[in-house]
Chain A
Amino acid sequence: MQTQILETIEQQFKTLQILNEDGEIVNEEKVPDLTDDQLKELMRRMVYTRIWDQRAISLNRQGRLGFYAPTAGQEASMLASHFAMEKEDWLLPSYRDIPQLVFHGVPLVKAFLYSRGHFEGGRYEGVNALMPQIIIAAQCTQTAGIALGLKKRGKKNVAFTYFGDGATSQGDFYEGLNFAGTYNVPAVFISQNNRFAISVPVEKQTAAKTLAQKAVAAGIHGIQVDGMDPLAVYVAAKEARERAINGEGPTLIETLTYRYGPHTMAGDDPTRYRTKELTDEWEKKDPLIRFRKYLERKNLWTQEDEEKTVEQAKDDIKKALKEADQTPKQKVTDLIQIMFEELPYNLREQLEEYRKKESK
């Protein structure tokens, strides 16, 4: 009986796929209504991000970037879902979700300053986003709050948040979903299931067969999508957004994806816990390959487009890096002054102390 119930639940969360590994449409009725320009732009963003990831890894090795969590493999999951967002929507990323931040309007130089550890890297102007969240799943409860705020203000906007598979074991993940459901707020929770939380496979996070079904515990919509399929990810995010602004409440989206690189550049060696076969298998599912095939068949993407995007990315990275280098170094007095609107006595004293030090 119990087994039957579990199977019945799992069957409600079958993977949505639109584009197969060969770039063929396998689900005609779900094909999103995207213009040729939009399709090209989405491809451009994915290629751009792949190049950026390669450059970031190498810059990190050269010591020119600091903290960096690789993104290769997750381009569809990250960028096709973000593609469903409107400019005024709110974005609450995890530490890996820097590409979405940049395409939401945060300048690339800020991403690099964030990576290096400079306060300017978290100071955004005119972008509805929070800084990358390091405390896994804290962004989930904050998303419920932002979405409730949007609802109270009567705005037709949505709060989107991203986190990994490991995050779904956190209390804040469940609390965030549950609060969002209780208040019926416009929020979209995106769990990017890349199968590993550092070295721990998703099977060791939970006995649940899908992460999407965790939505059931909060009484909200849940959907599992092929996270290597840009069209499926886009459709899931777009539909979730529409439900949210129509007052139909939050959605949990699970994207089945994979990171080709290590967890972060801070000494993680994925060969300790992942087989080459597994990585090879996922590389065959590459979102860029299948989307490229799809667009080429539609005569929307050429070698020239590809090269132009690569050049653009390299160029932007070079410029942003230079800008980051030229950003004034941080001073303790800077750090003191961003603590409070009005400094308490201890910080007033310490401000004076460090002003003297810095003027020497």
Chain B
Amino acid sequence: MAQMTMIQAITDALRTEMKRDENVLVFGEDVGKNGGVFRATEGLQDEFGEDRVFDTPLAESGIGGLALGLAMQGFRPVMEIQFFGFVFEAMDSIASQMARLRYRSGGKYNAPVTIRSPFGGGVKTPELHADSLEGLFLQTPGVKVVIPSTPYDAKGLLISAIRDNDPVIFLEHMKLYRSFRGEVPEGEYTVEIGKANVVREGKDISIISYGAMVHTSLKAAEKLAEEGIQAEVIDLRTISPLDVDTIVESVKKTNRAVVVQEAQKQAGIAAHVVAEINDRAILHLEAPVGRVTAPDTVYPFAEAENIWLPDENDVIAKVKEIMNF
């Protein structure tokens, strides 16, 4: 066991998989000699050579096409989109091409591509760096979407993503990169894609969350406990596909739920989680399922992040509203 930041855990996962499987290729803008703008790929080019870890021209769509083509030649591409706000440039190559390759070839071809990309607010980035766009890919058949919130999960989920034989979008919250350390085992281990994690047990209400909002929800849960409300906090870890079993099991126990996301109310995945709960556990609900989200505006100018992003007070208020419904 070592104490690692999430970014170190990510590098460790990449190194582990590159050692294990020579078909794993890492490429993107500045991921080679520079080691990535966040140092996620630091040292990998020195260790594995330019043939395995390489820079690309500055063109996200081209990177996506390159990944699909390399996958067709039996490689296991791990491509990076420098910031997920730039995904629109690669939307066709991801949503219309690699997500559909298995299907449109009648199951003959597949795209074992992992798309790594940072996102997330709270670090005052410039425009279109921090936007939460994961919801777009919940609506895209053919891709999985993974969002870790701890160093342990980041490593185990990234290894699973790389080994998956279908495309996986692996979103890394920038605020979580170096904000804390956690225990990370050495060597290889996996965390199953599509499995949520109950990170705090409780009996009164289920708080369902992912990404940085998991930590916000945990903070809120601690304060709520002081007031006698025992919240159960679920870290979804994978947002597509959802772990509906874990969600429903928790709701059946607590009879109340709040979904917490950093994305705008009209975006993200909260509406989908609410719909699944309504479909599967409505007779267990004492109150409607609440949502904590950002407002439906464009992502804020840097100085307005603190008033715009959901925080633990928003979670506390919503939980109390649902408790007192």
A residues with a Cβ closer than 8 A to B are 90, 119-125, 130-131, 135, 138, 140-150, 152-153, 159, 171-172, 175-176, 178-179, 182, 335, 337-341, 344-346
* B62 close to A138 (CB less than 8 A): no
In B136-164, which residues have CB < 8 Å from any A CB? 141-142, 144, 164
* A144 close to B141 (CB less than 8 A): no
* A142 close to B69 (CB less than 8 A): yes
Listed A/B pairs (23) with beta-carbon separation below 8 Å = A90-B72, A123-B106, A131-B104, A135-B92, A138-B65, A138-B96, A141-B61, A146-B69, A148-B66, A149-B69, A149-B73, A149-B74, A171-B59, A172-B65, A175-B62, A176-B65, A178-B62, A338-B102, A339-B102, A340-B142, A344-B194, A345-B194, A346-B241
A332 to chain B, nearest CB (A): 13
Chain B contacts of A141 at CB under 8 A?
A: 61-62, 64-66, 68-69, 93
* A144 close to B75 (CB less than 8 A): no
Closest to B100 in A: A339
Centre residue among B73, B93, B240 by max chain A CB count within 10 A: B73
Chain B contacts of A120 at CB under 8 A?
A: 106
* A144 close to B62 (CB less than 8 A): yes
* B165 close to A149 (CB less than 8 A): no
* B72 close to A338 (CB less than 8 A): no
Closest to A171 in B: B61
In B100-137, which residues have CB < 8 Å from any A CB? 102-110
In B68-105, which residues have CB < 8 Å from any A CB? 68-75, 92-93, 96-97, 102-105
Cα distance A338–B106 when bound, in Å?
A: 6
Chain A contacts of B75 at CB under 8 A?
A: 149, 152
* A175 close to B59 (CB less than 8 A): yes
Task: Beyond A143-B69, A175-B59, A338-B107, list 20 extra A-B contacts (CB 8 Å).
Answer: A119-B106, A120-B106, A122-B104, A130-B72, A138-B65, A142-B72, A143-B65, A144-B65, A146-B72, A147-B69, A148-B66, A148-B73, A149-B70, A150-B73, A178-B59, A179-B57, A339-B102, A339-B142, A344-B194, A346-B241
- Is residue B7 contacting chain A, with contact meaning CB distance below 8 A? no
A309 to chain B, nearest CB (A): 31
* B73 close to A153 (CB less than 8 A): yes
* A339 close to B103 (CB less than 8 A): yes
Chain A contacts of B92 at CB under 8 A?
A: 135, 138, 172
Cα distance A152–B93 when bound, in Å?
A: 22
Centre residue among B97, B165, B240 by max chain A CB count within 10 A: B97
Closest to B96 in A: A135
* B241 close to A344 (CB less than 8 A): yes
- Chain B interface bracket (under 10, 10 to 19, 20 to 34, 35 or more): 35 or more
Cβ 8 A contact of B144, one of A119, A182, A344:
A344
If A142-B65, A142-B69, A179-B66 touch, whether A123 touches B142 (CB-CB below 8 Å) is: no
Cβ 8 A contact of B103, one of A90, A119, A135, A145:
A119
Cβ 8 A contact of B61, one of A175, A335, A341, A344:
A175
If A152-B73, A172-B61, A178-B57 touch, whether A145 touches B67 (CB-CB below 8 Å) is: yes
Chain A contacts of B198 at CB under 8 A?
A: none
- Is residue B244 contacting chain A, with contact meaning CB distance below 8 A? yes
Chain A contacts of B165 at CB under 8 A?
A: 341
- Is residue B278 contacting chain A, with contact meaning CB distance below 8 A? no
Cα distance A335–B102 when bound, in Å?
A: 10
- Is residue B56 contacting chain A, with contact meaning CB distance below 8 A? yes
- Is residue B309 contacting chain A, with contact meaning CB distance below 8 A? no
- Is residue B213 contacting chain A, with contact meaning CB distance below 8 A? no
Closest to A343 in B: B241
* B66 close to A144 (CB less than 8 A): yes
In B23-76, which residues have CB < 8 Å from any A CB? 51, 56-57, 59, 61-62, 64-75
B178 to chain A, nearest CB (A): 32
In B190-231, which residues have CB < 8 Å from any A CB? 194
- Is residue B12 contacting chain A, with contact meaning CB distance below 8 A? no
Listed from nearest, the 9 A-B pairs whose CB atoms lie closest are: A145-B69, A141-B65, A149-B73, A123-B106, A344-B241, A175-B62, A146-B69, A145-B66, A338-B107
